[in-house]
Chain A
Amino acid sequence: MWFEQVVFWALAVVAIGGAVGVVMVRDLFRAALLLATVFVAVGGFYVMMNAEFLAVVQILIYVGAIAVLFIFGVMLTRDVRQGNTPNRLQIPAALVSVLLLAAMLFTAVTTDWTTLAGLGLESQSQIAQTQAVGIPDASSLAASGLSAQEVESIAGGGLADLLIGEFVLPFEAVSLLLLAAAIGGLALARGRGR
């Protein structure tokens, strides 16, 4: 669809341009702002891929927290204006990155993906994804050709069900990791002897 393409390419330009900016701009503060822009653009991609919840989480955590932390970090260290300089590995790094990019692009383009659309399942899965974070309207789900059992499983909560159902162990592990990171960050930032 035409409109969709426009939005997509606009987001793509913002994301990639911003990413290049993050890496290339000398001013670290601007790099951090550009990073936030990239995050917002990626959030836009999530919206386009029916992952609204993830998009919101992306904005909330990446833009609201991580980018702010970066700005804090930038401000508390030196050389903000001219700080982002390349090191000696510039050329090999560029080489490796370009090679890796080529390999990945080649793989992405030439692989014959088994897509949901190819299986005729696209609309159902989209409904599932869109509705996964709220209480879905059962009648609209049923209208899209889903079975009663599937409606039931989606109405059960989708993403939340997966997070504290099938993936509860990694979920708990990640909580523990966060706790450890919080304590570790405190310990590191406090420094010795204080």
Chain B
Amino acid sequence: MRCITTPENMLSPEGAFGGNPLFYWIYGLAAHLVPCWLAYVIAGLVIMLILINAVLLGAAIVSWGERRLLGRFQNRVGPNRWGPFGALQPIADLTKLITKEDIIPYGADRLAFTAVPVIMVSSLLVATAVIPFAKDVALVDLNVGVLFILAVSSLTSIAIFTAGWASNNRYALFGAGRAVAVLISYEVPVVLSLLGVVVVAGSMSLGDIVVAQAVPFFLVQPLAFFVFLAGMSAELNRTPFDVAEAESEIIAGYHTEYSGIKFALIQAAEFGGALFVSGLIATLFLAGWAGPVADWLGWLWFLIKTFIGIFLFVWIRSTFPRLRLDQIMAVCWKFLMPLSIINLAAVVLEVYFLRDASGTLSTSDLWIMAGINMVVAVVSIAFFGRIIRQKIRNSSRTMTASAPMVRGVPTIEVG
């Protein structure tokens, strides 16, 4: 490996792609044929290509899986015409969307309008880069991984806003305003719940967090898991927090005016987002690639856990009715926010008292924390749940006229 340089350059293999064996393998292979920098670029591109395809293909599978699952939940069949169990349905959808006319509405800001799908998909892809799919297999294992994910996913809010603004359409703008308000608000409890995870793991690197989960964190910090799940449902604009694209109210929200391939990309970003968040839940709370046997099977465990996450989301979506915007805000600030603060405080105190001299926690410590936090979670959810239930009831009594609470049909029909 004559090309590997000293750590002085952070873009060098050791600096950024620390420990990704796949990268080294391609890099070493290419370095025999081309100059070092080119080998480096080639290796990176190949990895990226794999990743992008994995994510987009995953998004397609999710779109099919979700519709099938929803169908089962609602006692119907779901897509079943094209391919076995309708599994080729996404391809049909995509073909249809690509061949459709790509309309840009009159008076739209063409540049911004076009940029939106790109920003959305690329921010999703960039965020995916830090997720470890198996032991040491991530595109980058950043030491600020958690923060990185938050930062990159916060780009979505700008994209949504731009979509709403550039469409030159009232409904789109309303949808964008709602979506951004929800995004910004739910960012706070989500970050606070992630802080608890970071405190216990002692690192912001996703790889380290997985390693730290001798006991999966959904047991150690049930509150954080709960808040994260709820917060992420909201950030993905999924039921019960999907006012931003509630088609019974504002057509389809910020992507009302999008059609053709742009619409396809936005949908890809949404389903990819669900996939990504499920992967994140698997990594942060379900111990990621760590499994009962065989580290080299890590990718399998990871996949299983990811699909558990997706299943959870679909389950939630098919079970709960949609909330009104003010109720969503109330749930965020008056329910999830105190819960996440309680979780953080409890975790910090526990870590402070339980850690040993070198600042690490043993497995038994984690079990102790799990026990305490279970109790804390039950008590505080019961307490704040009571309060928020009263609030929502009281407010709906005064605002019944504009409260479409119940809804039977699935939200998204692709095509």
Residues of chain A touching chain B, judged by Cβ–Cβ distance below 8 Å, are: 1-4, 7, 27, 29-30, 33, 36, 47-48, 50, 52-53, 56-57, 59-60, 63-65, 67-68, 71-72, 75, 122-123, 126-127, 130-131, 133-135, 144
Contacts and interface: CB of A to CB of B under 8 A. Distances in A.
Nearest to B41: A3
A60 B151 contact: yes
Given A134-B204, A134-B208, A52 B184 contact: no
Given A30-B109, A135-B203, A59 B154 contact: yes
B6 A123 contact: yes
Interface in B22-66: 37, 40-41
Given A3-B37, A68-B158, A135-B202, A52 B165 contact: no
Interface in B134-183: 142-144, 147-148, 150-152, 154-155, 157-158, 161-162, 165, 173, 180
A59 B165 CA distance: 22
Interface residues of B, number: 38
A-B pairs, top 8 by smallest CB distance, nearest first, are A64-B154, A134-B143, A59-B151, A60-B151, A56-B147, A56-B151, A3-B37, A56-B144
25 contacts: A1-B9, A2-B37, A29-B109, A33-B112, A33-B158, A36-B158, A48-B10, A56-B147, A56-B148, A59-B151, A59-B155, A60-B150, A60-B151, A60-B154, A65-B184, A68-B184, A71-B165, A126-B7, A130-B10, A134-B143, A134-B144, A134-B203, A134-B208, A135-B203, A135-B208
Interface of B: 6-11, 15, 37, 40-41, 109, 111-112, 115, 142-144, 147-148, 150-152, 154-155, 157-158, 161-162, 165, 173, 180, 184, 187, 202-205, 208
Contacts of A48: 10
Main secondary structure of the interface of B (DSSP, over half): helix
A187 to B, nearest CB: 18
Contacts of A30: 109, 111-112
B312 to A, nearest CB: 26
